[in-house]
Structure 1
Amino acid sequence: MSKRNNEHSPISDLLKEFVDTNNLQQGLDKVNVRNAWENMMGNGVNNYTTNIVLKQDTLYVQLSSSVLREELSYGKEKIIAMLNESLGKDVIKKLVLR
């Protein structure tokens, strides 16, 4: 168990310390990236999205439509920038559409 502090701390600081202590940030990033993709792309793209995986700094998105995959490939840099902005930090460096 961790030590008990008698001073008052904001809950956000306590949660951040808990995440850092237990090395949970990578798992949280995976969940946050999936949520950001779903919110940013909307129902049109989400209907054709079959799998989203974040490995290291590369986001792998599996799509069931080759036409949509080709269309999204033209805007990869913009998609990466929008996702990172939505997350508030640079998590994604590369986007692979399958």
Structure 2
Amino acid sequence: MNKKKNPVSVKNVIDKILLNKKLNNGLLEIRIKDAWKNVMGKNINTFTTNITLNKQIIFVKLSSAPLKNELVYRADTIIKLLNDELGQERIKEIKFH
């Protein structure tokens, strides 16, 4: 007895997987880290020790206090550049520490 199953598109399968919020947040965090490297460049990325995501806030740990102070003043511009790189508005705030 063979049962015929309705075919399911790969897109539908991937969408169901991405509905898993934990997995989706993990993938988004990876995309944000890649966007950070692309937008901020090699020099700033050298001083970046960690990037984490909580809701729509990214927390960026830097090893240079002067750089941290400079980036705090440019936070709005950085958010816009990162969201543009991601292709959607996923970041609302950046906190540097």
Tell me which residue corresponds to 1:34: 33
Separation in 1, partners of 2:6, 2:17: 14
Q: Does structure 1 residue 58 correspond to structure 2 residue 45?
A: no
Q: Is 22-31 or 56-65 further displaced after alignment? A: 22-31
Separation in 1, partners of 2:26, 2:57: 14
- TM-score normalised over the length of structure 1: 0.81
Separation in 2, partners of 1:25, 1:33: 12
Deviation at 1:13, TM superposition (A): 4.6
Deviation at 1:64, TM superposition (A): 0.7
> In structure 1, the residue corresponding to 2:91 is in which secondary structure?
coil
Structure number with greater Rg is 2
- TM-score normalised over the length of structure 2: 0.82
Q: Does structure 1 residue 43 correspond to structure 2 residue 42?
A: yes
> In structure 2, the residue corresponding to 1:91 is in which secondary structure?
coil
> In structure 2, the residue corresponding to 1:51 is in which secondary structure?
strand
Separation in 2, partners of 1:16, 1:69: 37
Deviation at 1:19, TM superposition (A): 1.5
Q: How many percent identity over aligned positions?
A: 36
Give the gaps of 5 or more residues in structure 2.
none
Q: Does structure 1 residue 6 correspond to structure 2 residue 17?
A: no
In the superposition, relative to structure 1, how do residues 88 and 13 fare at CA in structure 2: closer, same or farther (>3 Å)?
Answer: farther
Separation in 1, partners of 2:55, 2:12: 26
> In structure 1, the residue corresponding to 2:7 is in which secondary structure?
coil
Q: Which amino acid aligns with 1:35?
A: D
Deviation at 1:12, TM superposition (A): 4.1
Give the gaps of 5 or more residues in structure 1.
none
Q: How many residues align?
A: 92
Deviation at 1:18, TM superposition (A): 2.8
